Structure 1
Amino acid sequence: MRAIVFAAVLLAAGPALAQAEDAAPIVAAERAFAADAPLLGLTASFNKWSVPDAVMIGDGEVQTVRDVFPPDIPRPADEIRLEWWPNFAGISRSGDLGFTTGGVAVNGRRTGHYFTIWKRQPDGDWKWVYDSGSGASAADVPGPDTEPAILPPGPELLQVVTSLDRPPPPMAADWAMTRVREEEAALARAAMTDQRAAHLAAMSDNGRLYVAPLPPAIGRTAFAEALAGWPATFRFGPTEGGGQSQYGDLVWTYGPAAWIRDGQEWTGHYVRLWQRQEGGFRIVLAQLIPAPPPAGG
């Protein structure tokens, strides 16, 4: 009875949706964004399709899109030809937050993967709030003429809450982010002694893991093999930013990371997408973005 009462409180405080949203609008937005790049140039297209404070991570820094692509800088005559296309996508049950990820090519050569978080704006348009890349191999991923795989929605709140053996915390606007921060902290503690086991415990069976330069790892066997390519331990700092869907079923995070490889200290950032599933939040996409190599590295 207690679980049912708390379920009613949660469902009254947030949108209770019986049907999952369709990810097609996000896929269409990503493809329109990609199509604009050769027409408008990278600066104009990246600014057109993002919110002004959208996050980009590269060269060891967290920057806004306008830091990376200042709107007043003319398009260079020798601008690279950047192409990308979605291979994997998903959307929240509230239809306000989603993602796509897929292959990237520079001047016709496949170089890695992008990962974009999209947020629906008050006027109904989709703009991205995070965009960055991974050096994971795109050599064998499906091409631009294929449809992306779609992440299935997680269970509805009522299913999750009635399965709990203890009351959930008080409802708040950022309750899902608060819960994921706890998961991030637990992952960070475990990764200090065994990152492979820590990630395997946190990953969703239907998630994707980018461990460059390997291709995207999909499925638990692939996760285990790919994680062997990372150092045995990581030091993950607290979550620095991210966001959650209105329904609380999708949460994205980023923060600092440090590790030792070949006797040298490396730094960078982790970026993760969490989905609320039966049993708790699980990672459905994880990437590590290294800073430039240390001197002599």
Structure 2
Amino acid sequence: MLKTTMAAGALLLAATLARALPAAVSAAPVVAAERAFAARAAVVGVAPSFLEYMTDDAIVFSPDPLLARAVYGARPPPKLPKDGGTVLNWWPNFAGIARSGDLGFTTGPATVNGAAPGVFYFTVWARQPDGGWKWVYDGGVEADGKQAPGPAAEPILLPPGDAKAMAPDAAMNQVRAAEIALAARARTDAAGAYKAVLAPDARVQGSAAGPATDPPAVDRELATRARAIAFGPLGGSASKAGDLAWTYGDARWDRGRGHYVRVWQRRAGRWALVFDQLIEVTPPL
């Protein structure tokens, strides 16, 4: 009887979510949140703006995963940008959102004190109970951004995933299985492991060349990575609709190590990797 009740409850939840899902959800709120975040940093400085826009459980790599509030909260009050302090500016070139409108991401170039873009950031956003947005992960890699679209350019938007809803726990179980399979193959063939799950429109970042945005560029980007990589999943979360998930974890290879962050999207009943950023940890001198 208990199993029957639980099964009926799961079916009811899935049906409720399916009825609630719109045909498509605009990523405009996530893009707006990122732009407001950057604008705020230009006024109050980096650490205060990051503290203002993060959730209490947000993480950063410093160099290993830590609670972001502890990292930024420990920093002394910055010199304000208007008084000659550091001016960090960034803007989205690529963004996506779940059909349930509760999980999204943006990525794009960043500049320091007006110099040419030399970093590509990646931010994962979670919608809050009051309808606002706060980030749960923020990080980036150093890369050449001279050819990146400028702040006035509209970001490319990830097309929506499967319209059929899935419970978040079930979605994460499937994503974890996909991560485990990727990690197993990557121990001997990292490029092959990625190619087995990458979407045709996926973005891959990590090297100094900047983000790879099409299959030939992705092939070149993967060629810059170690042939064998040991991945160790650490965490992440899925949207309420079960169509979008982000993950992060450890990465180790011969004479190097780092971390990864990814975005997975459910397409035609299967999970495809639509974003991957590999962040190398520089060894101490």
TM-score, normalised via structure 2 length: 0.90
Q: 1:60-139 alignment to 2 at 5 Å?
A: 61-70=64-73, 73-76=76-79, 79-109=85-115, 110-139=117-146
- Aligned match for 1:246, one of 240, 250, 254: 240
CA RMSD of aligned residues (A): 2.1
> What pairs up with 1:274-285 in 2 under 5 angstroms?
274-285=264-275
Select the residue among 264, 279, 282 that pairs with 1:289: 279
Match of 1:11 in 2: 14
- Secondary structure of 2:216's partner? helix
What stretches of structure 1 of length at least 5 have no aligned partner?
A: 159-170
Would you say the 8 A contact 1:47–1:69 is kept in 2? yes
Structure 2 CA distance for aligned equivalents of residues 288 and 14 of structure 1: 33
Offset at residue 136 of structure 1 (A):
3.0
Task: Tell me what 2:164 maps to.
Answer: 157
Q: Match for 1:48: what amino acid?
A: E
Paired position in structure 1 for 2:43: 39
Equivalent AA in structure 2 for residue 257 of structure 1: A
TM-score by length of 1: 0.86
Deviation at 1:31, TM superposition (A): 0.3
* SS of residue in 2 equivalent to 1:142: coil
1:143 aligned partner: 150
Aligned residues of 2:161 and 2:266 also touching (Cα < 8 A): yes
User: CA shift at 1:215, angstroms?
Assistant: 1.9
Counterparts of 2:215 and 2:13 in 1: how far apart (Å)? 32
For 2:31 and 2:42, locate their aligned partners in 1 and report how far apart those are by CA, in whole Å: 18
Take 1:182 and 1:231, find their aligned partners in 2: how far apart are those partners? 23
Asked if 2 retains the 8 angstrom alpha-carbon contact of 1:50 and 1:127, the reply is yes
Is 2:270 the partner of 1:271? Answer: no
Q: Does residue 236 of the first structure (1) align with residue 231 of the second (2)?
A: yes
Maintained 8 Å contact 1:266/1:294 = no
**Residue type of the alignment partner of 1:114:** Y
3-state SS of 2:69 partner: helix
Q: Which residue of 1 aligns with 2:5?
A: none
Please tell me whether the aligned partners of residues 137 and 216 of structure 1 are also in contact (alpha carbons under 8 angstroms).
no
Q: Distance in 1 between matches of 2:241 and 2:154?
A: 26
Question: In the alignment, residue 81 of structure 1 is paired with which amino acid?
Answer: V
Cα deviation code 1:177-216 (max 9, x no counterpart): 1110100000001001111111111111111000311121
CA–CA separation in structure 1 for the residues paired with 2:212 and 2:119: 13
- For 2:12 and 2:188, how far apart are their aligned partners in 1? 39
Quote how far apart the aligned CAs of 1:137 are: 2.2
Q: What number of residue pairs does the alignment pair up?
A: 273
Q: Is the 8 A contact 2:42 2:87 kept in 1?
A: yes
- 1:67: how far off? 2.2
Percent of residue pairs identical:
46
